[in-house]
Structure 1
Amino acid sequence: MDIQPYTSTETLAVGRPWLMSMLGIEANQSVTLDLSKFDENLHWTEASKYQPDRILKSGIPLGKLTASGLYAPYNAVSNEVETLTVTGAPTGGTFTITFSGQTTAAIAYNATAAAVQSALEGLSNVNPGDITVTGNAGGPWTLTFGGQYLGENVTQVTTTESFTGGTSPDITIATTTAGGAAASADGSDVFAGFLFTEVAFHAGATKAAAPLMVHGQIDVAKLPVAFDPSDVPAGSNSQFVYKV
C-alpha cells in the first residue's frame, strides 16, 4: 500500500468528486458486486418515479469476499453502533443527547431520525458523516459512527429527558456494536480498491458488474462513506495517493 500526501484541489468527472486524477484508470478491473452487502443509507440511493434503478455510489471502498469471490464494502474494523429507545410512552416533552462532553439542543420526544442526526451535527465535535441516525419517528434510533470516529470505540452517549405523560418515561441506551473490534475475516477486511463508477441496479438484483479502481489519487474527504487509509492492512496490492 503506497499512501502519500497529495494537496491538489482538482476534481474530475461527474459523479466522482473524490477522484483527484485519472492516473491509474488503465488499472481498473472488472469485478462482480454482492449487492446484498450494500446498505441503502450508506451506499445507494433509492429508485424514483423518473429513475427506476437504484444507484450505487462511486468511490465506495471494496474488499473481495473469500467464499464467493464477489466484492462487498471494505470493512477492516467495526464501527460503533448505539441504539436509543424511548420507554414509558411519553406524550410530550424533549430530551438532549450528550456525546464526549458536548450536549445537543432539545430534541422532541417523537423526533424523526433526521432531526436527531441534525441535532448531533450541531455539536462542535460532530461533523456531517460522523454519526448517521436511522429509525422511525419517536425511535428507536440507531446511531452509527463514522467519519472521524470510523472504527473507534467511542464513549457511549448519554441523554437527559424532560418528558411528559406516559408512565415513568425514559430513554434506554445500548451499544449494539462496539467500535474498533476486528472485522470478520471474510475477505471484506482486506482493502481491494474503490468502485470507480456509479452502478445502476433493479430492486431484487443480487449481483452487478462494476469496475474496481486499484491505482489513483483520491480525496478521502469526498468519498461517499467514511474511510481511514491508516486502517488499511499492510500488503494490499492497491496503490493510491490520498489528499490530506
Structure 2
Amino acid sequence: MDSLIKVSYDNDRPTVSARELHDFLEVKTAYKDWFPRMCDYGFSEGTDFNPLKNEQVRQEGNRMVSRMIDDAQLTIDMAKEICMLQRNDRGKQARQYFLQLEKDWNSPEKVMARALQIANQKLQVLETENAQQKQLIAEYSPKVSYYDVVLQTKDALSASEIAKDYGKSAKWLNNLLHDKGVQYKQSGIWLLYQKYAEQGYTRSKTHTYSGDDGQQHSRLHTYWTQKGRLFIYDLLKKDGVIPLMEQ
C-alpha cells in the first residue's frame, strides 16, 4: 500500500500528524483555525488526539530561523472522521487509505507479530533480571573469611576509579576484562561470569532514577571490592600492565 500520509507506531497503535493530514487534504483554512474546529465535532484530547509541538526550521532571507509550531497526533478513527467531514476527493482517498491501514493492522499476521514482539521484549527483561539476580546470589553466597571481612570494610570502587590507577578510562578496563573472559555485557550492564561472580570481587548496588515516562526505574551498577581490585591488578600485571604509581 502506497504511503499517502506518514503513520507513526510509537505508542503501540497507528497515529498520524494533524498537520500532515491538513496538508494532504489541501484544506484552504489555516491549520490554527481548522484543527480547533475539527475538535469541536466531539473529539477528546488524550483519547482521540494528543497535542504536541514540533520544531520547524526554514530560511528567512540569509538566515535559518527555528520556531515551534502546534501539531497533534490523531488516532486513525479520528483521521477517518475528519476525512469524511471534508467531502472532497482527497478526503475520500485518505479515508480509503486509513481503512486499508486498519485492515492490515488488525490482520492475524500483524496481530501475531506484535504479540511476538511484546513477548520477546518481556523475555529480554526477564533474562536481564535473572542474570542480575544470579550475580547478587553469587556475591553473597560464599562464606566470608576474616581476610574478606577486612577487605570489605573499605569502599567498593567503580570501574572508572580503578581505571584511573592505570591512566585509562572505564571503557578501556571494561573491554579488557571482557576480552579476558571475566565479564559480559547484557542490556547495557556489565556482569561477571559465574566463576568470577562467586569470588567476592564485586558488590552490586541498585540505583533508582526517574525515566522519561515519569515513572521510577531501577538499574544495577557493579562496583569492585578491594579484593576485586587486587584480582584486576594481578590479572593485568601478567600482561605487563601496571598502575601508574609502579611505573
**Under a length normalisation based on structure 1, what TM-score does the superposition of the two structures give?**
0.19
More helix by share: 2
More strand by share: 1
**Under a length normalisation based on structure 2, what TM-score does the superposition of the two structures give?**
0.19
